Structure 1
Amino acid sequence: MGCGQYSGELEAPTFGSLLRRLRDQRGVSRERLAFNAGVSASYITHLEKGDRGNPTREVVEALTRYLGRLVPLTDVDQRQLIDLAGLDAGELPTVEELRAVVTADMHRALTLHRPNLAAYVDMRGNLLACNDSWDEAFPGASQDGNMLRWFFSHEMSADVLVNWEADLRRTVHWMRGLIGRSGNSDGFIDLLRELGEFPIFRQVWAEGGVEFAPHVWTMQLRNPVTGLRRKVVAQAGRLQNALYPGQVVAILGIPA
């Protein structure tokens, strides 16, 4: 879990990099892909290099349709390609902007959920607010301010999470999916740079796995004081705030 020597930038998944991988897997040239999608080969080159704006929905559909005819796209690859196209994406709000929309009533709701775990996080794992039960379950997370960074940097995380390695791999795969869903890879560059300081993160990131976080999942937690284990069912839901719809996620953890 310790920091190792940092060696180069980690690249966030992009529409161009995924398109190139899918094209290479099928052994199809840029020219052939372009012809069948109704665009120019130079446009495909620009898309893959990332030096052209987001493609239109029609172009994305044409690309996925032709690639899928050659070799069927997995549900994950198809969803990730559409997400990374960023058709409806905008700038990601800052942590300060998101914390400002957590109202007094929302804070009270966290308190009312005790002794269950409850918190608000954003798409980058920033902890916007939480109750005491969350603090007790994940010591040091509030001070760090980011659940992903805490996961890799805090010495207690491997003690608290019984299935730490499996949870770690699952979390990194979810992060790839979230980057795609955000449609804004640039908004994750700073976080990737920080997490890239940890060799285990770099290793799992290099595997390239993508998953999409479910609304309900289970965690095996260990009490850091008593050592007692418990299974928690976590439930997540996006809040449709008028300013930043879908950017704040409410998580509630209840006993299994």
Structure 2
Amino acid sequence: MDHRSEVREFLSTRRARLTPDRAGLPAYGGNRRVPGLRREEVALLAGVSVDYYTRLERGDLSGASDTVLDALARALQLDEAETAHLFDLARTANASPVARRPRRAAGSVRPSIQRILDAITEAPAIVRDSYFDYRAANALGRALYAPVFAEPHPNSARFSFLNPAAREFYPDWDQVTRELVATMRGEAGRNPYDKRLTDLVGELSTRSDRFRTLWAAHDVRYHRSGVKRLHHPVVGDLELVYEAFELPADPGLQLATYTAEPGSPSADALKLLASWAASGEGAAAVRRDPAATAEP
């Protein structure tokens, strides 16, 4: 990934989506040649010179202070994830080659993490890494995401964009893929020199028009909590609330749990799913250990 291009495209797309009205600026002139704010308008809002902002948007964030970055984030009305992404891009611009080396979890999850997963018996729980590989799960988690775990190397990104079954499994496939790419964009901002992540982006860009289009939008988001709708091949429709937790002792790993509203049809479906997972057919479908098949 070319860092200057990343900066240029991120700032220009954020500027293009912000209208003078939203920014509290008068819309002088009848026809505007740009869809959003002009560079001079962003510079005015951020309290910097037009020349300086132009330099930033051309991809040169080297030497930009936190004060300038904060002002730029306010001017462009960036949300929390987008602001963090801007700071990540600036950190990369100012980092030495040694500081740029990514920290990644590797190998199987620690036994204590697997014990925590197995102790969660009434909710699906999954651990994924920064490459969107499913690294570990409890029995209910493997049952819930059985179509993903059926693949040789369970990976939510490859499944979502390259497996036709994903459109049926995710009723909100458009939203799911949009959020997935925005989460991946944030990962790339934090670790721009990670070859494995870059290779994954390159693979998906080559093989999926949908991914390529979404990647070009430069949207960024956090994957922390929300509602996930699934159409499971065995128990049908589920609407689940997910909560995602970073594992500080294992950089790059995230634990996600899924729960249903008590007394809801989804809660009944989860109970049915647990019964299926405990059955002979279900146990055979979910017994694969994702750590044993994860990519090196």
Same fold? TM cut 0.5: yes
1:255 is matched with 260
Structure-to-structure mapping, 1:42-53, within 5 angstroms: 44=55, 48=58
Distance in 2 (alpha carbons) for counterparts of 1:221 and 1:27? 43
- 1:217 CA drift (Å): 0.8
The structure with higher relative contact order (CA 8 Å, sep 6+) is 1
Aligned-residue RMSD, C-alpha: 3.8
2:220 is matched with 210
Structure 1 residues 103 and 166, CA gap change in structure 2 (3 angstroms): same
Distance in 2 (alpha carbons) for counterparts of 1:150 and 1:140? 9
Q: Percent identity?
A: 21
Check if 1:74 corresponds to 2:82. Answer: no
Structure 1 residues 254 and 11, CA gap change in structure 2 (3 angstroms): farther
Structure 1 residues 13 and 216, CA gap change in structure 2 (3 angstroms): farther
Gap runs ≥5 in structure 2 = 17-36, 262-296
Q: Work out whether residues 183 and 221 of structure 2, in 8 Å CA contact, stay in contact via their aligned partners in 1.
A: yes
- 1:218 CA drift (Å): 0.8
1:6 is matched with none
Within the candidate set 185, 188, 191, 2:192 is matched to: 185
- 1:74 CA drift (Å): 1.1
Q: Work out whether residues 7 and 59 of structure 2, in 8 Å CA contact, stay in contact via their aligned partners in 1.
A: no
Check if 1:111 corresponds to 2:101. Answer: no
Distance in 1 (alpha carbons) for counterparts of 2:4 and 2:157? 15
User: Aligned letter for 2:141?
Assistant: W
Structure 1 residues 93 and 251, CA gap change in structure 2 (3 angstroms): same
Q: What is the TM-score of this pair, normalised by structure 1?
A: 0.71
Structure 1 residues 11 and 139, CA gap change in structure 2 (3 angstroms): farther
1:4 is matched with none
Distance in 2 (alpha carbons) for counterparts of 1:22 and 1:231? 32
Check if 1:229 corresponds to 2:229. Answer: no
User: Aligned letter for 2:128?
Assistant: V
2:7 is matched with 15
2:173 is matched with 164
For the residue of structure 2 that corresponds to 1:240, the secondary structure is coil
Distance in 1 (alpha carbons) for counterparts of 2:137 and 2:4? 28
Q: How many residues align?
A: 227
For the residue of structure 1 that corresponds to 2:234, the secondary structure is coil
Distance in 1 (alpha carbons) for counterparts of 2:131 and 2:211? 15
For the residue of structure 1 that corresponds to 2:106, the secondary structure is helix
Check if 1:26 corresponds to 2:35. Answer: no
Structure 1 residues 156 and 12, CA gap change in structure 2 (3 angstroms): farther
Distance in 1 (alpha carbons) for counterparts of 2:141 and 2:123? 8
Distance in 2 (alpha carbons) for counterparts of 1:15 and 1:200? 22
Q: Work out whether residues 13 and 217 of structure 2, in 8 Å CA contact, stay in contact via their aligned partners in 1.
A: no
2:24 is matched with none
Q: Work out whether residues 160 and 221 of structure 1, in 8 Å CA contact, stay in contact via their aligned partners in 2.
A: yes
Q: What is the TM-score of this pair, normalised by structure 2?
A: 0.62
As a proportion of its length, which structure holds more strand?
A: 1
For residues 29-81 of structure 1, give each alpha carbon's deviation from its aligned partner in whole angstroms, at most 9, with x where no partner exists.
xxx9xxx57xx97x948x9457xxx73462x533553x468xx2212354331
For residues 160-196 of structure 1, give each alpha carbon's deviation from its aligned partner in whole angstroms, at most 9, with x where no partner exists.
222122211222222223333x2x2232311111111
Q: Work out whether residues 13 and 179 of structure 1, in 8 Å CA contact, stay in contact via their aligned partners in 2.
A: no
For residues 207-252 of structure 1, give each alpha carbon's deviation from its aligned partner in whole angstroms, at most 9, with x where no partner exists.
3333333x221111122124x21111111111111xx54x211111
User: Aligned letter for 1:83?
Assistant: D
